[in-house]
Amino acid sequence: MSDKARLGKGLGAIFGENVSDVLEQIQQGTMEGFQGSRQNIPCDEVRPNPYQPRKQFDQDKLQELADSIAQHGVFTPILVRSTPLGYELIAGERRLRACVMANKSTIEAIVLDFNDEQMMEISLIENIQRENLNIMEEAMAYQMMIDRLHLTQEALANKVGKSREHIANILRLNRLPHVIQTMILNQELSMGHARPLITLSSEAEMIALAKRIVKEQLSVRAVEALVKQPVVKPKKPKVETHVYDRVISALEDKFQTTVKVNDSSITISYKGWDDLNRLLDLLEVNED
């Protein structure tokens, strides 16, 4: 069967749940139907995979790999596809980065004919199976696949070999404010810390608690306890009805002016002689 015929079936039909094993066979040149052209290509002509879910790479591990490559070379070729703009990486970004760090000008590669959907799937699955993604990277990758491939959570779960419940729980992280997502990417917050944050009613509450978690190094259990605490709303000051309110209201209606009443006096305000005479007439105390 030709490469295009097999690839047209989609990765799920070809690879099943053993994508990592199949990638290994392709890179070793032993996978039937996937013997792409094997060649050395310039490192600077390989563009990153646009669907790479990994946002951060451990620099210490990259340096270890670069040191190994400087001494022994690259044992396993990277996978690329050819485009009008040059080569585009399918799998093997750590090896490519390490080669650049080791000042290698070329890298051995296998050129395959993959479409965008297959590149997206293989990038996600390779990273999940071969080297665990940060939980936030995984959430972003799942959302990208759902949006671009129009998948249901159930279909996505089948593609990546996870339960639908796992997919649903991870996807909820995408609802967190960007500042908290960055904290998770930077490994300041764990999935255990993030899960209770999602239940809060406002972004302001989420961010405030996330910053407190980092500052005070709170445990997951402590965060869960804080979130479960009932929200105590500040009591509104009780407005007491003044004992003379009804009297004041009645007098102000009658005299059409401001009236003050206390325990020992009544004060009726007036403006000018005409207003005073008006009040005197109302009180029937004006002289004839």
Q: Give the orientation angle of helix 203-216 with respect to helix 178-185, to 10 degrees.
A: 30
Does residue 264 sit in helix, strand or coil? coil
Catalytic residue among 17, 93, 108, 165: 93
Does residue 79 sit in helix, strand or coil? strand
Q: What are phi and psi of 77, to 5 degrees?
A: -65, 155
CA–CA distance from 46 to each of 64, 100, 182 (Å)? 22, 11, 28
Query: Quick one: DSSP state of residue 56?
Result: -
Residue 93 falls in the annotated catalytic set: yes
CA–CA distance from 285 to each of 157, 253, 256, 260, 266 (Å)? 92, 19, 17, 20, 16
**Exposure of 78 by Cβ count < 10 A (0-12 exposed, 13-18 middle, 19+ buried)?**
buried
CA quadruple 109, 112, 115, 118: dihedral, nearest 10:
-80
The alpha helices in the chain, defined as continuous H runs, are: 3-7, 11-15, 19-28, 59-72, 93-101, 116-130, 135-149, 153-160, 164-171, 178-185, 191-197, 203-216, 220-228, 245-255, 272-282
Does residue 71 sit in helix, strand or coil? helix
Active-site residue numbers?
93
